[in-house]
Amino acid sequence: MFPDHDVFTAPDFSDVKFEKSNAAVYFHEDFLAHKTGDHPEHPRRLVIMRNATLDNPVNENLDWPSPELCDEADVLRCHTGSHYENVRKSCEAAAEAPGGLVRLDPDTVVSEMSFIAARRAVGACCQAVDRVVSGKNRIAWCLVRPPGHHATPERSMGFCLFNNAACAAEYARAVHKLERVMIIDHDLHHGNGTQDIFYNVPNVLYTSIHQSYHFPGTGYIDEIGSGKGRGYTVNFPVLAGSGDNEFALYFREVVAPIADQFKPQLMIVSIGFDAHSADHLGFLKVSTEMFKRISLQLRAMAVQMDIGLIYTLEGGYSLEASAEAFVECLVASITDRFDAGELPQPNRPSQGAIATLDHLRQAHKGIWEL
């Protein structure tokens, strides 16, 4: 039997007032030069999202700064030197390889320009940190590829070369001396690379909702961090077929209260549209409307805490659905209209998701009040 609604606690955003603001959107043609052949992660993903944005009235409230290449040091805060060199040399080798492509693993392909694209993707995310911390924009969107959240300290995997979100978080700590950064990952897949990088670190809180029993096979509830990082990894796996109600449950019952207690000085969102109901790389059923509601909640949280908010693109392989959801989220992230009734509402989450929430509460008992 479904429990009474009063077991769920709505975040209190009664003091939140939105003001219309411009967002920065980072995009560069180099991201399209990362060629992958016949592969679901291909340049057209970005083309259609960019074009949909340019064709929407929201573009009047967007700044489009050009991202620069990151420094090597910006990558090496999260990745080993051998990994950095392997990506560089593999891309050099691709220039002479059959078809111009080299496989780093069964899923991950590079071309001659992929190393440059990956460095520019990290550069975009680091420059987004500069921008939101300085207050020039409080919201930044990094429309980048290759994606990043599967890249571990030592290896590329899952379409990812360097971990964009992690590099941005470490840049914020090293350059801007921020002490608390929160990374929220709502891609279909668990961000194993981001988790690995910060598993023993208390200054960066990583939380993810993702399809369970799916690639990359990580992200269990009991993976909560270790040593000084214990409690700073928070995983909410959901079963195939989960959708709006389960995502609403996670954002209301996990993300909001943990953020309230952790008090981040910056939020970074690894946003993946492969959880969309129209995407066929997995089996989640999130609607465009719920993506928009999530963006509204994240905006409310950032406004309430008076901190910057950065989105960096991960997955999303249905071109039309990804473009539609991207624009809706972008609009929601800068709107001047706030209505608590438009925030995520877990009307009837599955019994499995409720059990997952109970398990998560037990795993983090004594660490977070949930």
Active site residue 186: no
Range list of H helices, the chain: 44-54, 72-76, 81-94, 114-134, 164-176, 192-198, 244-250, 256-262, 288-305, 319-334, 351-363
Q: Which of 28, 34, 149, 150 does the annotation list as catalytic?
A: 150
Q: What's the rounded Cα separation, in Å, for the pair 219 and 154? A: 19
Tokens of 206: 């990583």
- Distance from chain centroid for Cα 160: 13
For strands 308-313 and 204-211, give the pairing. Answer: unpaired
Tokens of 74: 């910006």
> What is the chain's length?
370
Coil, helix or strand at residue 222? coil
- Return the C-alpha torsion angle 237, 332, 313, 207, nearest 10: -30
Q: What's the rounded Cα separation, in Å, for the pair 327 and 48? A: 11
Phi, psi for 84 (deg, rounded to 5): -55, -45
Helix (H) or strand (E) run with residue 267 in it: strand 266-271
Report CA-CA distances (Å) from 151 to 14, 155, 165: 39, 6, 10
Catalytic residue ranges: 150
